[in-house]
Amino acid sequence: MIEFDKGSTNVYADLGFDNPAEQLVKAKLTRTIDLMMRERHLTQIDAASMMKVKQGALSKLLKGNFDGFSEQRLMKMLTALGADINIVINTTPGTFPGSVQVTYA
């Protein structure tokens, strides 16, 4: 039988990354970029042109290398692909710290 440890809901925290919450948000935004590219049948070259990034940088991003990509930049890339981004802030009394969630609808 294989034994395993149950992790948290954030693989970046489990692996000891710096700023794991930020890394998870970037991963989810990047996944949305990938999904939108697939839905629109865009090549990396076409998508990179639309988003005004180099194809090589987009390729690295899609492989999980978030270096040089802020959350703001990723959202700008999503809007270049036609996404509308809505930021909704909810408060839950007694919950500290809060969290950031990304949902692609």
pLDDT tens profile 67-100: 899 999 999 999 999 999 998 888 888 777 777 7
As its CATH architecture, domain 12-80 has Orthogonal Bundle (1.10)
Best CA proximity match to 37, nearest among 19, 61, 17, 21: 61
Residues whose CB falls within 8 Å of the CB of residue 8, separated by 6 or more in sequence, listed in order: 14
Q: What is the DSSP letter of 19?
A: S
Global pTM? 0.83
